[in-house]
Structure 1
Amino acid sequence: MSLLHSCRCKVARRPRLPQGGEKVAYEIGHPYDTGVMPTGDGHHIYWELYGHPQGKPAVVLHGGPGSGATPYWRQFFDPGRYRVVLFDQRGCGRSLPNAGDDVSALENNTTADLIRDLEALRRLHSIKQWLVFGASWGSTLGLSYAVRQPHSISELVLWAVVLTRSSDVHWITNVMGDVYPHEFDHLLLQLPAYPKDGNIPLAFNQLLRSPDPIVADAAARAWCGWEDRIATLNGPVVPSRRSEDPRLRLGFARLVTHYFGNFAFQRDDAITGSLDRIAHIPTFLLRGRLDVANPLRAAYEVAQGLSDVTLEIVENEGHGAGEETTARLVAVLDKLASE
């Protein structure tokens, strides 16, 4: 049985990639407008507009949870053809309160809350429909948003696709613990006792909420070290910028374990059981074959449930956006801007 037949999706041909130093992505420019949107329940969401004020509307959903909408995300969009809304999700970046400062940032902070923020931002900027662009946790949020608000979305472009189900959380902890046993055992040293339900992120979240800054920081260091291990496919672990910053690593670790430990605050079939609601939305999914942060089957299952979908697999890349992943994303966004 062919992949095309078994997943009922289009598997696109490999595009021509830049050669000899050609530019892969767009030069990162500056936003033309910024602001803060109060949510009415204790949060203030930072947003910015980038590109052309009359361009094709798009919204960026960053990963993490808790990574923030850094300038990095602007490189994928042609600033002459897109009007891009970027925002820091609750508890991170320039949104307040920040989980790196205050555990109150975890209150009123669920997937449903983030979806309400998306709709409020769409209305704030008088957008009827927008393209949803997201990666990693942002793909979970994007799909969750889509099945609840399908009429708000023109297209979905999602990469490093994950679903944040209980089985996916088990994968990134327990299953990967069999791949990296030394680092996994070091992670578990932070826990007073192995959780009976096996929910390691939730147990870590309790430590990360500790009023003792030494306890909280030790847990943050351990969790971010594990994330860095998963992100480094081979060789010595490459620490991320957030791992070296006390405030960033604490906020990131609090938000990730908050969402992972509660399985994105939704049923395991919240996405896969509702794909009929978004079957009409043109969808592009991209995964690295070497992405060990989540099973590739997650993206495959989503593709199986959709009709107007393209699933591409980059054979030699992992969870982050390498050159080929970046080139493919820019190519599909360019194509959609021209339609």
Structure 2
Amino acid sequence: MFDLERYRIILFDQRGCGRSTPHASDLATDISLNTTEHLLRDMEQLRAQLGVERWLSFGGSWGSALSVACAERHPERVSEMLPAFWLMGRAEVDWSAWEDAVLSLEPHGKPAPFSDRASDDLLAFARICAHYAANNGWLEDGALLRNAGRLAGIPAVIMHGRLDLSCPYDAAWQFAQAWPNAELVAFDDAGHKGSPAMHDHVRSTVARFSVL
């Protein structure tokens, strides 16, 4: 979704998943050191190590909550944001317990979007998700919303599917009201996994941000 001539893309696998080690699929891996605070420190260390002064933050689902938490911690390090919203609140954690079923019913969904992963990835996914959900992401309920004022001055476009049954739309709407400089765009044909229209809007938005 990004023009590689204009953007330097930085992707990172969070603790315990992807190519990060130790991997959470190994039951000997201690995931007590895998918390939101640890991830925020990891992101800041990564930014500093790569010599990035400010970056555009782009995340969806849990990634949007993490990117907002990072931006509220270090607003001076963020140039723009493109979150697809989730606040990691208690109500949302309870609601998301059925997402493997409901995501398969979305207009652009597919059967078992999570449970058909490779066995190691599925085990790591289950351990990490349960670990974070049981602890409410180590975020005080409503804290991200209450701290939205810290993001004043950061241009943002919040994109959310009205048919998203995993991350309810009201969280995106509430945050858009509290976040100065944020624009909320809802897509009638999109659920949690997005839609062609949403992806097109992401591309046009990042192109617009690249000339700011």
| Normalised TM-score (structure 1) | 0.59
Instruction: Report what 2:148 is aligned to.
Output: 275
Counterparts of 1:99-138 in structure 2, within 5 Å, are 99-138=24-63
1:162 to 2:64 alignment: no
CA-based RMSD: 1.8
1:231 to 2:156 alignment: no
Counterparts of 1:232-247 in structure 2, within 5 Å, are 232-233=104-105, 238-240=111-113, 243-247=116-120
Is this contact kept in 1: 2:163–2:192, CA < 8 A? yes
Corresponding residue SS for 1:256: helix
| Partner Cα distance (1:147, 1:237) in 2 | 34
Is this contact kept in 2: 1:242–1:248, CA < 8 A? no
Cα deviations by residue, 1:125-178 (Å, 9 ceiling, x for unpaired)? 11111110111110000111111111111111112x1111111112223xxxxx
Corresponding residue SS for 1:170: helix
Cα deviations by residue, 1:83-125 (Å, 9 ceiling, x for unpaired)? 1111100110000011112352512111111110111011001
Q: Which runs of 5+ in 1 are unaligned?
A: 1-75, 174-225
Is this contact kept in 2: 1:130–1:152, CA < 8 A? yes
Instruction: Report what 2:67 is aligned to.
Output: 142
Q: 1:253 aligns with which of 126, 145, 155?
A: 126
Change (3 A) 1:77 1:237: closer
Instruction: Report what 1:10 is aligned to.
Output: none
Instruction: Report what 2:137 is aligned to.
Output: 264
Q: Cα offset for 1:265?
A: 0.7
| Superposition misfits of 4+ residues, deviation over 3 angstroms | 234-237
* Equivalences, count: 211
Instruction: Report what 1:322 is aligned to.
Output: 195
| Partner Cα distance (1:237, 1:326) in 2 | 17
1:230 maps to a residue whose letter is V
| Normalised TM-score (structure 2) | 0.94
Q: 1:305 aligns with which of 178, 182, 189?
A: 178
Is this contact kept in 1: 2:165–2:191, CA < 8 A? yes
| Partner Cα distance (2:13, 2:148) in 1 | 27
